[in-house]
Amino acid sequence: MSGLFLGKETATGSPFFLDAERPRVILVCGKRGAGKSHTAAVFVEEVCAVRRDDTVVVVDPMGSSHSLAFPAPPESLRGWNLKPSRFPVRVFVAGDPARAYGGEVLLRMREAGIEVLRLAVVPSEVAPELWCGLLRLGSDTAAGAILYRAVTSLREKKSAFELRDVRQAVFTDPLAVGEARMVVLSKLAAAEQWGVFSGPGPGGGQFESGKVNVVNLSIHEPGAGSLRELVVDVVVRRLFSVWAQKKRAWEFGLAQRVPRLWLVVDEAHQFVPGNADSLSREALVRWVKEGRQLNLGMVLVTQQPAAVSPEFLSQVDAVVAHRLTMRDDLEALEAISPVYLRERLDSTVVTLEKRGEAVVLDDEKEEARRVFVRPRRSGGVPTGRQEFRREGALTF
């Protein structure tokens, strides 16, 4: 049977495959420790192994996706007819990789075959309102108005500009005077010290098919209006633009196909919250609403479905639900459940007790199955960690 092998049905032991012939919006949810991140990794493994022409981009706030580069221990796969595998991993960081990881860790990663690359965040890609949000300057304040005006003016004049151009635009603005101007210049100087912004760099084409492209956000602090949200916004808008160009090329006979792209967003509630705004919200909502026509799919992973925007959840067409117990999360899950289910989804999810057990709802097939997710083929520990274990210095 075609599809992505997620595991076995608990009732019959039959292999369970998730249809991925079309771009989909898939919700993977569950309380902490229930197995949702494991399931997301299994999805990534399957796409890389079965659909090698597809591109996978993982938004990784936890900084753990590099584990896909290490094979799982053979004993963990016993009885599943699976072999340990390492998957090609490319890690992108906004800023200098050596500064983000440190020289020794960076060397070890590269020795393990993990590519580590700088993700260019170009100031001209950031919308004026996002600049105001990032620097905590309300657009209705004098300082916010100065910044908004400077970025808007530059975007009208140039296709690409750098941080120093923004500072110069503020400095030469005849309407920018006094303390408000000094506040903006001070904020821009601080932003330069983050080491994130750079001149124009590679576009969305730098993400390669057949490999796991990881955007590591763990080096940035979380929170509303954070660098994490900004990086996600830049990546999502960049990819959307590149795939729109690919579709136009296909429509005019310049390409044979529009390749599939899967965006896997861990801790999705951080980036499309239901009760607050975020710098990445607009771009992600557009992705799930319009992305299918560009062959763009998404997997959103969260332990708090109730904290995710209902507008976003309404676009979901497949759910992999591990155990949930919080009332708000169960209600959010039931709110997106189709009417054809024989049993309430929230009632079923509460009864899941084993780690890795899940209810898989596929709206395209109009069916729900209780599934035990297969073990990972990757996710082993690096050699250095194995040595630490043997010496008793650290336990993991």
- What is the pLDDT at residue 389? 39
- What is the pLDDT at residue 95? 87
Q: What is the mean pLDDT of residues 99-105?
A: 92
Over residues 172-206, the pLDDT tens digits come to: 999 988 999 999 999 999 999 998 998 765 555 58
Q: HSE of 56 in the Cβ direction (CA atoms, 13 Å)?
A: 29
Q: What is the mean pLDDT of residues 127-136?
A: 95
Average pLDDT taken over every residue of the chain: 90
Note the Cα 194 to chain centre separation in Å: 22
Q: What is the mean pLDDT of residues 244-269?
A: 96
Residue 275 has pLDDT above 90, yes or no: no
CA neighbor of 332 nearest in space, from 310, 363, 317, 355: 310
Distance set, CA 16 to CA 2, 107, 225, 360 (Å): 10, 40, 40, 10
Q: What is the mean pLDDT of residues 126-133?
A: 95
C-alpha Rg value of the chain to the nearest Å: 22
Residue 289 has pLDDT above 90, yes or no: yes
Over residues 199-232, the pLDDT tens digits come to: 765 555 589 999 999 999 999 888 777 899 999 9
Over residues 312-354, the pLDDT tens digits come to: 999 999 999 999 999 999 999 988 887 667 677 777 888 888 8
Helix (H) or strand (E) holding 275: none
237's tokens: 């808008």
- What is the DSSP track for 278-337? -TTHHHHHHHHHHGGGGTEEEEEEES-GGGB-HHHHTT--EEEE-----HHHHHHHHHT-
Over residues 137-186, the pLDDT tens digits come to: 998 999 999 999 999 999 999 989 999 999 999 999 999 889 999 999 99
Distance between CA 385 and CA 64 in Å, rounded? 14
17's tokens: 């495959």
User: Helices 163-172 and 178-193: crossing angle, nearest 10°?
Assistant: 170
Over residues 42-57, the pLDDT tens digits come to: 999 999 999 999 999 9
Helices (H) and strands (E) in the chain, counts: 13, 12
- What is the pLDDT at residue 40? 97
Q: How far apart, in Å, do the first and last CA atoms of the chain sit?
A: 37
Q: What percent of the chain has pLDDT over 70?
A: 93
- What is the pLDDT at residue 395? 27
List of domains in the chain: 3-8+21-121+202-316+354-359+369-384 (3.40.50), 123-194 (no CATH)
Distance between CA 221 and CA 102 in Å, rounded? 18
- What is the pLDDT at residue 394? 29
Residue 390 has pLDDT above 50, yes or no: no
- What is the DSSP track for 9-61? ETTT--EEEE--SS--EEEEE-STTSSHHHHHHHHHHHHHHH-TTSEEEEEES
- What is the pLDDT at residue 205? 54
Q: CA torsion sign, 40 to 214 to 112 to 63?
A: negative
How buried is 320 (Cβ within 10 angstroms: 0-12 exposed, 13-18 middle, 19+ buried)? buried
- What is the pLDDT at residue 391? 36
Going by their DSSP bridges, the two strands 15-18 and 296-302 should be labelled as unpaired
- What is the pLDDT at residue 393? 33
Distance between CA 214 and CA 56 in Å, rounded? 8
Q: What percent of the chain has pLDDT over 90?
A: 76
> Cβ(170)–Cβ(144) under 8 Å?
no
Residue 387 has pLDDT above 70, yes or no: no
Helices (H), 135-193: 142-157, 163-172, 178-193
Give 365's pLDDT tier (boundaries 50, 70, 90). confident
